[in-house]
Amino acid sequence: MTPSPWASYPAESRGRLHPEPSDARRGPRDAFQRDRDRVIHSIAFRRLRHKTQVFLAPDGDHFRVRLTHSLEVAQIGRTLARALGLNEDLTEAICLAHDIGHPPFGHAGEDALKAAQQETGGFDHNGHTLRVLTRIERSYPDWDGLNLSWETLEGLAKHNGPQRHPGWALRAVDAQWPLALDSWPSLEAQVAALADDIAYDNHDIDDGLRAGLLTLDQLMALPLVAQGWTAVRARWPDVAPDRLARELVRTQIGTMVNDLLAETRARIAEAKVDSADAVRATPYALVGFTAGMREAERDLKRFMYANLYHHPQQLTAAAAARDVVAGLFAAFRAEPALMGEGWGDAPTDEPDRSRHVADYIAGMTDRYAVARYRAVIGPVDMPDGL
């Protein structure tokens, strides 16, 4: 599909913090293709395969982890970008990288790091994503970070909208290379944010059903789900319900995607944007759901928090995970040498010392965090597999 005027064009990129000469030896790729590839080849991206999405140490190989979630977000993001005439490579780069800053154990781990750093600025996984990509990853001889393009970093910083009160990590990145935090980002970044919502809203239903923490009967309380289930059952009236659960999820994803495309096209036409910079100058989101779908999606989120994310089994596992992260933080902050080579030489002053320790812990996978806890502190009761 021919790119639209409002798409991001790699030839018009604002460049990289550290200028790089073109190097044809590494293939005929443009700036956004290189960004996507750098994310995929990074150590931080590989570690996502052992970081929690919803379930800690899921009993079985069929549940999602942070890596598979990121791949599914990228798949939905590419579909949306292609339909809207946007740059698919930039969209994919943002989708793939958006969760790189998550610590072990998902939001439970983030809550523990936030509490541990309460006096030193807190912790935010989105700000940490930018910190990883601009500082902590060290794959290149001439600079720290992956030296991604301005458009990719801007999209990651603002994929959920303008950042008018950024945390310390994001402020530090912005001070080094201003990302216009108070404006809306490119359409590619806005697409990535909604692709994330569509992915986890629906794929968490699939995992919740598979785990036995959700039932189809419960889900029928949601009109959006009930409508999709009615359509699925009408097409396959003689197929067992448990075999149709994933068809329900696919149907629901399609419904949300089509709603988003129709609404976004209408907003773009009304705003009369004719460039990526015109998109940034628009004081509201151009990518979004209709009012009805937006409310239905919020209802779905509320349902998932009440019935899956805050399920007693999940809360018990999350409490254990927070104890592991809090225990590691206290131990490493008191005795940095326990972090080992490359990390044990910690700053002596605050807040740098605490932030250094948090950087180390945030990079851990779930299983490595538990292994370090057992080695440094002692036994801990965690789900099988950890």
The token duo for 44 is: 């931080």
Residues in the chain: 386
State residue 59's pLDDT score.
56
The token duo for 36 is: 């996507």
State residue 27's pLDDT score.
80
Residue 305 carries which DSSP code?
Answer: I
From first to last of its 386 residues, the chain has per-residue pLDDT tens of 678 999 999 999 999 999 998 766 678 899 999 999 999 999 999 999 999 888 876 556 778 999 999 999 999 999 999 999 999 999 999 999 999 999 999 999 999 999 999 999 999 999 999 999 999 999 899 999 999 999 999 999 998 999 999 999 999 999 999 999 999 999 999 999 999 999 999 999 999 999 999 999 999 999 999 999 999 999 999 999 889 999 999 999 999 999 999 999 999 999 999 999 999 999 999 999 999 999 999 999 999 999 999 999 999 999 999 999 999 999 999 999 999 988 999 999 999 999 999 999 999 999 999 999 999 999 998 876 66
d(CA 361, CA 338): 12
d(CA 341, CA 44): 18
> Across-strand partners of 275?
none
d(CA 90, CA 37): 11
State residue 341's pLDDT score.
84
State residue 24's pLDDT score.
65
d(CA 74, CA 137): 21
| The Cα angle at residue 127 between residues 123 and 133, in degrees rounded to 5 | 125
Q: Which CATH class for the 30-184 domain?
A: mainly alpha
Q: How many CB atoms lie within 10 A of CB 271?
A: 16
* Domain range summary for the chain, segments of one domain joined by +: 30-184, 188-313
- φ, ψ for residue 204 (rounded to 5)? -70, -30
d(CA 208, CA 202): 10
d(CA 30, CA 281): 25
Classified as helix, coil or strand, 65 is strand
Q: Whose structure tokens read 């007693």?
A: 312
- The residues, any chain, with a CB within 8 Å of residue 47's CB and separated by 6 or more, are 363, 364, 365
- CB 137 within 8 Å of CB 43: yes
State residue 60's pLDDT score.
61
- CB 30 within 8 Å of CB 24: no
State residue 227's pLDDT score.
95
- Of residues 123, 82, 125, the one with CA closest to residue 101: 125
What crossing angle do the helices spanning 106-116 and 312-334 adopt, rounded to 10°? Answer: 40
d(CA 149, CA 45): 18
- Of residues 350, 367, 354, the one with CA closest to residue 123: 354
State residue 21's pLDDT score.
82
* Residue 260 Cα distances to 82, 217, 235, 273, angstroms: 13, 27, 24, 18
Side chain identity at residue 307, one-letter code = N
State residue 22's pLDDT score.
75
State residue 2's pLDDT score.
76
- CB 223 within 8 Å of CB 101: no
- The residues, any chain, with a CB within 8 Å of residue 356's CB and separated by 6 or more, are 336, 343, 346, 347
State residue 386's pLDDT score.
62
d(CA 326, CA 303): 29
- Of residues 54, 50, 11, 16, the one with CA closest to residue 35: 16
d(CA 83, CA 6): 13
- Positive or negative: CA dihedral 343, 167, 188, 31: negative
State residue 381's pLDDT score.
85
- CB 89 within 8 Å of CB 30: yes
- The residues, any chain, with a CB within 8 Å of residue 94's CB and separated by 6 or more, are 77, 152, 155, 156, 159, 188, 189, 192
State residue 1's pLDDT score.
67
Classified as helix, coil or strand, 352 is helix
